[in-house]
Structure 1
Amino acid sequence: MALAVDTPLRAPAPTAARPVVPRMRRRLGIVAIVASASAMGLAGLFGRLASPPGAVIGETLTLGRMAVGALGMVLVLAAGRRLSVLRRTRVSWSVVLGGVFLGLSLATYLSATVLTVLSRAVALHYLGPVVATVLARLVLKERARGTELLTLGISFAGMVLATGLVDGAPTVPDGDQLLGDVLAAVSGLLYGAALLCYRYRADMPADVRNFWNFTFGALGAAGMVAVTRPDMSGMTAQNWVWAGTFFVVCGFLALGLLVVAGMHLRSVELSALSYWEVVVAMLLGAAVYGEAVSPLAAVGALLILVAMVVALGRRRPAGTGAAPSGARGDRAAEVEPA
Structure 2
Amino acid sequence: MAASTDVPARVPARPAPRGTRAVPRMRHRLGVMAIIASATAMGLAGVFGRMSTPPGAVIGEALTLGRMTVGALGMVLVLALGRRLGAVRRTRLSWSVVLGGVFLGLSLATYLSATVLTDLARAVALHYLGPVVATVLARVLLKERASPTELVSVAVSFTGMVLAAGLIDAGPAIGNEQQLQGDVLAAVSGVLYGAALLCYRYRSDMPADVRSFWNFAFGSLGAAGMVAVTRPDLSGMTTANWMWAVAFFLVCGLLALGLLVLAGKHLRAVELSALSYWEVVVAMLLGAAVFGEGISPLAAAGAVLIIVGAAIAVGASHRRVARLPRAPATAR
TM-score by length of structure 2 reads: 0.91
Residue 320 of structure 1, CA deviation: 9.8
Residue 18 of structure 1, CA deviation: 3.8
1:234 matched to 2:229: no
Q: Which piece of structure 1 moves more, 219-228 or 165-174?
A: 165-174
Cα 1:281–1:183 shift into 2, 3 Å: same
Listed as ranges, the matches of 1:120-199 within 5 Å are 120-171=122-173, 173-199=175-201
Aligned equivalents of 1:316, 1:242: Cα separation in 2: 42
How many aligned residue pairs are there? 317
**Does the aligned pair in 2 maintain the 1:128–1:188 contact within 8 Å?**
yes
Q: Deviations over 1:77-109 (max 9, x none)?
A: 000000111110001110000000000000000
Residue 277 of structure 1 is matched in structure 2 by 279
Q: Deviations over 1:215-269 (max 9, x none)?
A: 0000000011011110111011100000000000000000000000011000001
Residue 34 of structure 2 is matched in structure 1 by 32
Q: Deviations over 1:9-33 (max 9, x none)?
A: xxxxxx9964553431000000000
Equivalent position amino acid for 1:190 in 2: L
Residue 317 of structure 1 is matched in structure 2 by 320
**Does the aligned pair in 2 maintain the 1:94–1:200 contact within 8 Å?**
yes
**Does the aligned pair in 2 maintain the 1:29–1:265 contact within 8 Å?**
yes
Residue 310 of structure 1, CA deviation: 1.9
RMSD: 2.2
Residue 118 of structure 1 is matched in structure 2 by 120
Residue 13 of structure 2 is matched in structure 1 by none
Residue 267 of structure 1 is matched in structure 2 by 269
3-state SS in 1 of match to 2:311: helix
Residue 11 of structure 1 is matched in structure 2 by none
3-state SS in 2 of match to 1:317: helix
Q: Which piece of structure 1 moves more, 163-172 or 27-36?
A: 163-172
Q: Deviations over 1:274-329 (max 9, x none)?
A: 000000000000001110101100110011111122223332424999xxxxxxxx
Identity percentage of aligned residues: 73
3-state SS in 1 of match to 2:144: coil
Residue 136 of structure 1, CA deviation: 0.2
Cα 1:107–1:319 shift into 2, 3 Å: same
**Does the aligned pair in 1 maintain the 2:6–2:203 contact within 8 Å?**
no
Aligned equivalents of 2:202, 2:282: Cα separation in 1: 29
Residue 223 of structure 1 is matched in structure 2 by 225
Residue 114 of structure 1, CA deviation: 0.7
Cα 1:126–1:5 shift into 2, 3 Å: same
Q: 2:61 aligns with which of 59, 64, 70?
A: 59
Cα 1:59–1:320 shift into 2, 3 Å: farther
Aligned equivalents of 2:23, 2:201: Cα separation in 1: 14
Aligned equivalents of 1:50, 1:22: Cα separation in 2: 43
**Does the aligned pair in 2 maintain the 1:22–1:203 contact within 8 Å?**
no
Aligned equivalents of 2:144, 2:71: Cα separation in 1: 31
Residue 3 of structure 1, CA deviation: 8.9
Residue 258 of structure 2 is matched in structure 1 by 256
3-state SS in 2 of match to 1:91: coil
List runs of 5+ in structure 1 lacking aligned partners: 9-14, 322-333
3-state SS in 1 of match to 2:57: coil
Aligned equivalents of 2:7, 2:272: Cα separation in 1: 25
Q: Deviations over 1:157-188 (max 9, x none)?
A: 00000000111344453221110000000000
Q: Deviations over 1:109-137 (max 9, x none)?
A: 00000111000000000000000000000
Aligned equivalents of 2:236, 2:319: Cα separation in 1: 51
Residue 86 of structure 1 is matched in structure 2 by 88
List runs of 5+ in structure 2 lacking aligned partners: 9-16
Aligned equivalents of 1:100, 1:168: Cα separation in 2: 33
Aligned equivalents of 1:86, 1:120: Cα separation in 2: 40
**Does the aligned pair in 1 maintain the 2:7–2:202 contact within 8 Å?**
no
3-state SS in 1 of match to 2:56: coil
Aligned equivalents of 2:296, 2:134: Cα separation in 1: 30
Listed as ranges, the matches of 1:320-331 within 5 Å are none
3-state SS in 2 of match to 1:114: coil
1:214 matched to 2:216: yes
